[in-house]
């Protein structure tokens, strides 16, 4: 499963990229607003820091406007993935871009039928928002299960990018269901590596090693 960082914080992205575990980045207008930086400048910087796809979202609501914005965004790096909303206009723009071989991420997906449409529009990624479904009392992971079944039924190439991930259990469930990608806030990526028994065990090993008075180097 690929790991994307869901952030526009370039310092965080640089640190995560150093681990070799980062496969891509997703952003959205709210994350850009939170960064307080110029949209095009920050996306260009993220694209240079990131080995894989960097999702940059259009803000127009009509197909032609989205396509015009996509032209600008694509110039920010070879790894730019144009992020489009799951509306009829967004799907039409997705079809046009995917026919041109442009990477696309269809976002704000909350139903399996929406995901079916995105796959038919040739989306590279579909982004179902599991956390926001959980927030309203639905089970976001049931959506991932349904999309996985539908995409397997028809051998769609669209990758399932689990979004709105809030905690490590979401990542575990996504991996068990065979999702292609999980995009996570950096705090969640770090939490995946952490376990209290690892910390406790390491402290004991360090203490015992110090007693030996030896050094490896």
Catalytic residues: 83
Quick one: which of 112, 99, 111 has its CA closest to 70? Answer: 99
Tokens at 195, concatenated: 């376990």
Quick one: which of 155, 125, 123, 161 has its CA closest to 143? Answer: 161
DSSP string, 4-30: EEE---HHHHHHHHHHT---EEE--HH
Q: Is 183 in the site for ligand E4P (CB under 6 A)?
A: yes
Give the range of 14-22, 86-94, 95-103, 124-132 binding ligand E4P by CB under 6 A. Answer: 124-132
Instruction: For the CB of residue 211, give the shortest distance to ligand E4P in the complex, in Å.
Output: 46
Residues in region 9-68 near ligand E4P by CB under 6 A = 26, 28
Rounded distance, CA 200 to CA 215, Å? 21
Rounded distance, CA 9 to CA 12, Å? 5
Contacting residue, 10, 114, 127, 173, with ligand E4P by CB under 6 A: 127
- Which of 6/12 has CB closer to ligand E4P? 6
User: Which secondary structure element, helix H or strand E, spans residue 71, and what is its range?
Assistant: helix 63-74
Given a contact cutoff of 8 angstroms between Cβ atoms, the answer to whether 105 and 55 are in contact is: yes
Instruction: For the CB of residue 7, give the shortest distance to ligand E4P in the complex, in Å.
Output: 9
Contacting residue, 131, 167, 168, 192, with ligand E4P by CB under 6 A: 131
Q: Is 7 in the site for ligand E4P (CB under 6 A)?
A: no
Instruction: For the CB of residue 195, give the shortest distance to ligand E4P in the complex, in Å.
Output: 24
- Which of 59/204 has CB closer to ligand E4P? 59
Which residues contact ligand E4P (rule: CB under 6 A)? 6, 26, 28, 107, 127, 129, 131-132, 163-164, 183
């Amino acid at each position: 499963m690929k790991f994307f960082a869901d952030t526009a914080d370039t310092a965080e992205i640089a640190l995560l990229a150093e681990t070799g575990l980062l496969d891509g980045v997703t952003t959205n207008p709210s994350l850009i607003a939170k960064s307080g930086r110029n949209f095009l400048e920050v996306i260009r910087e993220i694209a240079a820091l990131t080995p894989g796809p960097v999702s940059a979202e259009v803000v127009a609501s009509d197909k032609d406007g989205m396509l015009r914005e996509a032209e600008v965004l694509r110039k920010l790096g070879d790894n730019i993935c144009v992020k489009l909303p799951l509306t009829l206009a967004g799907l039409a723009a997705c079809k046009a871009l995917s026919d041109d071989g442009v990477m696309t991420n269809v976002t704000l997906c909350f139903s399996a039928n929406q995901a079916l449409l995105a796959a038919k529009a040739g989306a590279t990624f579909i982004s179902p928002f599991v956390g926001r479904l959980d927030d309203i009392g639905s089970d976001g992971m049931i959506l991932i299960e349904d999309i996985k079944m539908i995409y397997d039924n028809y051998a769609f190439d669209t990758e399932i990018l689990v979004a709105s991930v809030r905690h490590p259990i979401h990542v575990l469930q996504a991996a068990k269901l065979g999702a292609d990608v999980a995009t996570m806030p950096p705090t969640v990526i770090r939490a995946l590596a952490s376990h209290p028994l690892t910390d406790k065990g390491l402290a004991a090993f360090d203490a015992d090693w110090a007693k030996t008075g030896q050094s490896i180097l």
